Chains A and B, each alone.
Chain A
Amino acid sequence: MNPIVDREKGLLELERRIAELRSANAKQPVDISAEIAALEAKYALIQREVFGELSAWEKVHMARHPNRPTTLDYLSQLDRFDELHGDRQIRDDPAIVGGFALLAGRAVVAIGQQRGRDTKENLRRNFGMVTPEGYRKVARLAKLAVRLGLPIITFVDTKGADPGIGSEERAQSEAIARCLYEFTLARVPIIATIIGEGGSGGALALAIADRVVMLEHSVYSVASPEGCAAILWGDAGKADEAAAHLKLTAQDLQRFGIVDEIVPEPLGGAHRDPVGMVGRVLEVVATALAGFDGQSADEILEVRYRRYRRLGAWQDGLREVGGAVP
């Protein structure tokens, strides 16, 4: 039940009819190109109406769209990717994929949350909700990257950390806290990209970075809108209202200095042109990484520290500090 998917149905139907008419037009003597043009104009109008101005709640659904490019779509479009598995202790968490990769000729360590693209894969990958073993794999790969001097690139796409009994029993809090600690001190550049949904601490565990990139319709939130509505009002059904309050869009977060760069999506969303979208994002990430060439680890760490040190909004005596960039 994704309203974006529902709305697309009408458009996809129209798209199919236009294609049919086009191929028919080529074969028959009567010219119907005027009709086709009218349909195309109608299509463009509806598309702009439906996708031109997305509300926060609509963006949440766009971010969760089943066809939206996932981490593996990004990794498979890299020059090379060799997956590394496991936390060396308990198991390999399929909700995290990570390993060595080549990005624009540069060796990196790439890590991301992986949700499923269908029901079967979603069950295997726990809908992209990471368990402590997954976060320990992340911390292990981050340490490895530091030891070898490889930059880290991450892809964030999760509703949140796994809230199950097993995850609590195996110290979910500690696993996330450890990731935050390792990323804060990692002596290599880190570029994080919010490719879909960034849900709470489970997302932040992969998103402490020197540059945070976000797709135009991705969302990144202190809690899922459903979770927020349940916490504040005891009613997860008011998620649409919560989404509007939470300021979870890329545009909001850029104003708060949490996100540095927004990558535009095609009208209708990233999944309308997955290969092109992934290519553009990887280009942005590669360019961001190149910006750190020649910088020492000490410099990078100092700037990273200051980046997070200043975040927040408070009153200090008579002075107001932080908040949105005017």
Chain B
Amino acid sequence: MPMPEWLRIRRSSDAGVSDAALWTKCPSCSEVLYRRDLAANLDVCPKCAHHFRMHAFDRIASIVDGDFTEIGADVLPLDPLGWADKRPYPAKLEADRQKSGLTEGVVTGLAKIGGFDVALGVMDFYFRGGTMGSVVGERITRLLEAARSASLPCVLFTASGGARMEEGMLALMQMAKTTAAVTRFIEAGNFMLVVLTDPTTGGVSASFAFQADVIVAEPKAMIGFAGRRVIEQTIRQKLPDQFQTAEFLLEKGHIDMVVDRRELRATLIRLFEYAAAGRRVTGSNGAVRTVPTGVDTQ
């Protein structure tokens, strides 16, 4: 797949990849993998199907038809608490900008997926552990508002350690803010889909993530409210490996499905088809179109 224009522009600022980074080892089966092969397989280990954490841009490229129009790119972080521990908060942000090539922990925008106009948000664990601060909350809110005004379905990929400590209560309030946006979006009759990826915890799982109509998760993704270490410290015993995995949540009835990343795009398209099939929907151009109920996989 040729690199689309939006991605080529964003990537041009990337630091050059060193030789050492050409190879990587699967943390699950220890197979040494050539990075290019791994990327071609959507960051899934070809041998054991371990799902590596995915960069937001790679995720977007793997899921959209082609173009992606970013929303909220101008929304950038401040330092409202004047936070400084070992390093000041702005220095932590700058380091993560360099490391990830991202300006914040979520990338939001409009795209087509399988021909459907959708609003798409992708969180990235490589930026401050995907934690939700004011910018993540504001970008997701703007995305949901854009989706609502155009009656588009919305799909959010989550990856988050929870609320961002360095923004204190303003970070916690993003749970309330995103919830407010979700309520308006959903109550207006729109379809909201969430894909939980490794890891999704705390303030993100306990707000918009578990407010979606349909919740999909990637295999073995760690998902929960309290982090594993917190629980182990509280109960003073080790937790079983399966605890808080996507498969565990599926069994307990918390999520709808666990889907291999390589099947994800096709699955999302099928879900968008169902959501659109039951009624006439308004497209982003304002034209009312009737969506065929027949399933057209591609």
Give chain A's interface residues, CB within 8 Å of chain B. Answer: 161, 163-165, 167-174, 176-178, 180-181, 184-185, 200-201, 204-205, 208, 220-223, 227-228, 230-233, 241-242, 245-248, 252-253, 256, 258, 304-305, 308-309, 311-317, 320, 322-324
List residues of chain B with CB within 8 A of the CB of A221.
Answer: 168-169, 172
The residue of chain B having its C-beta at the shortest distance from the C-beta of A320 within the complex is B78
Q: Is the CB of B138 within 8 A of A232?
A: no
List residues of chain A with CB within 8 A of the CB of B172.
Answer: 200-201, 204, 221-222
Leading 6 A-B pairs by shortest Cβ distance: A312-B134, A163-B226, A313-B80, A173-B205, A172-B225, A176-B206
Given contacts A165-B231, A305-B180, A308-B173, contact A248 B243 (CB under 8 A): no
**Bound complex: CA of A184 vs CA of B180, how far in Å?**
6
List residues of chain B with CB within 8 A of the CB of A324.
Answer: 80
Give chain B's interface residues, CB within 8 Å of chain A. Answer: 74-78, 80-81, 83, 85, 133-135, 137-138, 141, 161, 163-165, 167-177, 179-184, 187, 202-203, 205-211, 223-226, 229-231, 233-235, 239, 243-244, 252-254
Task: Give the most central of A204, A233, A253, A323: most B CB within 10 Å.
Answer: A204
A173 is contacted by which of B167, B179, B210, B235 (Cβ under 8 Å)? B210
* Cβ contacts A to B, 10 pairs, < 8 Å: A164-B234, A165-B243, A171-B254, A172-B206, A185-B187, A201-B207, A205-B206, A248-B168, A258-B169, A312-B167
List residues of chain A with CB within 8 A of the CB of B75.
Answer: 314-316
A180 is contacted by which of B179, B224, B225 (Cβ under 8 Å)? B179
List residues of chain A with CB within 8 A of the CB of B230.
Answer: 163, 227, 230
The residue of chain B having its C-beta at the shortest distance from the C-beta of A168 within the complex is B224
**Bound complex: CA of A242 vs CA of B165, how far in Å?**
9
Residues of B contacting A: mostly? helix
The residue of chain A having its C-beta at the shortest distance from the C-beta of B134 within the complex is A312
Residues of A contacting B: mostly? helix
Task: Give the most central of B184, B207, B225: most A CB within 10 Å.
Answer: B225
Q: Is the CB of B225 within 8 A of A167?
A: yes
List residues of chain A with CB within 8 A of the CB of B254.
Answer: 171, 173-174
List residues of chain A with CB within 8 A of the CB of B207.
Answer: 176-177, 180, 201
Task: Give the most central of B138, B164, B243: most A CB within 10 Å.
Answer: B138
**Bound complex: CA of A163 vs CA of B233, how far in Å?**
10
List residues of chain A with CB within 8 A of the CB of B233.
Answer: 230
Q: Is the CB of A314 within 8 A of B135?
A: yes
A177 is contacted by which of B133, B164, B210, B234 (Cβ under 8 Å)? B210
Given contacts A161-B226, A222-B165, A232-B165, 7 further A-B contacts (CB under 8 A): A163-B231, A171-B254, A180-B179, A184-B179, A201-B175, A248-B169, A314-B135
